[in-house]
Structure 1
Amino acid sequence: MIQTQPQSAHIYTDLNAIQDIRTLGKDDKNAALMEVAKQFESMFLNMMMSSMRDANKVFEEDSMFNSPETDFYRKMYDDQMALSLSGQQGMGLSQVIYRQLMTNYGDNKNDAQQLDQGKLFDRRARSPLSMVAPSHVTALNATMDAVDAELHQLRPRAQSAVTGSSDSVAAAASGSGNKGQQFATPAEFVAALYPLAEKVGAELGVEPKAIVAQAALETGWGKYMISDDQGRNSFNFFGIKADSRWQGERVDVITHEYRDGLAVKERAPFRSYSSMEEGVRDYANFLQGAERYQQAIGQNLGAGHYGYALQQAGYATDPQYGAKIQRISQSSTLNSALEQLRADAALSGGRNDG
C-alpha cells in the first residue's frame, strides 16, 4: 500500500518546505506541529554533526583527499542526513518538542500530555555522576557532607533574619545598585525563606513551596539579590518594583523585561526592605491589595498552578513565568533542600524534648 506523505521537507534544498507546513496547518494543525518539531530536531542533528566534523578537521589537514569541494559535498550530505533522520524515528527529541508545542498551540492542548520539565532538569543534574568512578563519588559525597555540616552552623544566622532580630535588621538599601549573591547555596536560601513562606502561605491560601519557588526564580536561589552600591541587601525576593504607591526606600538596577515578545534590558526602581520578614510581609500585602491577583490567592493553589495564575494576572512579562515556577517546584534542588530542612527541624525538636 502506498503511504501518503505529509507535505513537509524531505529534501533540505526544498525552499517551499515552510509554506508546505503552513498549508498542512490549515487542514491538520497537530500534524503541522509535528512537522515543525521534526524541523527543529533536524536543526539540532545538523549542529551536532557539524561539531563532530569540526572535531576531526585536525586529521584532514595533510590529507590528499581533502579539498573545498569535498567539504561542500560533505556538508550537503550532512544536511540531508539530518533531515532524513529526523523524518524517521530520529533521536526522540521531536516527540518532546511536539508535546510542548501541543501544550501551547495544539487544537486539543488541554488534553496534551504535559512535559515534565522537572524530571528533565533532575536527569541533567544527575547525569555527570554516572561517569565518575565510585571512589571519586565517595569522596565527593564526603565533601558535600562536610559542607552541609558547615552550613548547619550558619543556619541560625539565617534564621535570625527570619525572626527579625536586632542583629539582622539594618537600614534599608537605597539609591542605585546591582544584583549580587546573598546566600551561599540553595539549601541556605530555602532554610531562611521557607518559615516565612509558611506564614504568608497560610494567610494567602498558597502552598509555601510555590512561594519559595517564585522567590528562587526571581533571585536565582539568592545569587542575584538586589543590593545598593554599598552592598546592603534589599530583601526583595519577588521582584516588586517601586511605583508611585511605594513610599519606602528603593534601589535602581538593570532588569530583564519582555516587550512584544522580545527580551530587553531596562533600569527600574525596586522596593527595598530592612529585613526578610518585612520583604515577605510586603509581598503578601502587595498581592492582597491588588484586585487582579485575587484569582491567584485564596484558592489553595499548589506550586503547579500558582505561577500560571500569577502570569495570567500580569505579575511578570516573561511568557514562561508559570512554567518556570512549576519546574523549580518539581526540581530536586528545592525538594532536597526542604527534606534537609525538615530533617534538621525534627533533629532539633528531638534534642529539645530530650
Structure 2
Amino acid sequence: MKSTDPGFINDLANLDRLRAGIKGKGDKENLRAAAEQFEALFTQMLFKSMRQANEVFESDLMSSSNTKFFEEMRDQQMSSELSARGSLGLADLIVEQLAALDKPPATPEAQAKAEEEKAANFEALQKSRQVSANDVLAKVFAQQETEQPSKDKATLAASATAATENSVVLPPLRQPKDKPFASPQDFVSRMRPFAEKAAGLLGTDPAVLIAQAALETGWGKKVVRNAAGDSNNLFNIKADQRWAGNKVATQTLEYHDGIPVQERAAFRSYNSYEDSFNDYVRFLNDNPRYADALASPEDPRRFIRNLHKAGYATDPKYADKIINVMDTVRKLMK
C-alpha cells in the first residue's frame, strides 16, 4: 500500500498542495492523501478526549501550560504519522468506500446471480461451522482425558459423543429473512408443503396443523421475536431444560384457573419455518402425555382436543378456536 509522507502536521503549505492536487474522482493518490488527513484529524480528537479525561488526575507540580502545549503538538504529529503508516485503517476504509462510487452499478442479472450464490453457499457454510464446533469439543475432551487419566475413560468418551452430537456450540446461521405474510391465503400457501410433510408423519390432516400455527401466530404476523429477529416458532413450543438450541424470551399470555395472566417465558428458536414443523413432530412423539392425541390422529378434531386435554395450551377454548380456524384453512386450501 502506498502512503503519503506525513510531513509536519502544522505545515499549512502541505495542505495547500493537497487542495491544489485534487483534480477529480479518478485521482487515487489525492484521494489517499485526503483520507489520511481525515484520519489524522480524527485521531487528534481521540487523543484530545483522552487528555481531557485524565485532567482530574493531574497535579500542579507535574503539569503546566507549556507541558500541555508540547503534549498537544506531539499528539498532533503522532496522529499524522499513525495515519500515514495505516496503523488504524480508517483511511483504507474511506478510500474503499469512495472508490466504490466510481464503479458502475451492478446489473439486475448480476444482482440475481449474487443472491443465488449466497443461497447456494449457505448450507455448506452452516455445515462447516458445525464441523469446526465438533472439532473443538473433541480436542477439549481429549485434553481432559490427558489431564485426568484416573477418570473413567468410558464416561469421557460418552460425554464427548453426546456433546458433539447434541450440543450447539456455535449458533446456527439464519436464512435471509422471509417476507411478511400478506394475507391468510399467503400464510396457508407458504405453510402447506411443511404442514403436509408433518401431517404425513403424524397421520393427521395438514389443515389442523396450519390452523394451529395460524392461531398461535395470528396468521404469521405475531411470531415470537426479539431484537435479534424472528424465532420462526409457529407452535409456540417453550424452551425448557431439555432444549439445547437457541431461545427467545418474551411476554406470553397464560391462563390460570381460567384467568389470563401475562408471564415471561423462553421459547424455542428455529432457523426456518420448516424446522419449526419438524420439531413440532418430534416434540409430540417425545412426550408421553400426548399419546392419546397420537392414538387417533386421523380425526383432526379429536386430535386437537386430546392435544389440548393433555396440556398443550392453558387457554380453555384453545381446541375450539383451532377447529373454527381449520374450517377457514380448508376453504383457502381448495
- What TM-score, normalized by structure 1, do the two folds share? 0.44
Question: What TM-score do the two structures reach when normalised by structure 2?
Answer: 0.47
Select the structure with the greater relative contact order (CA < 8 A; seq sep ≥ 6): 1
Query: Radius of gyration: which is bigger?
Result: 2
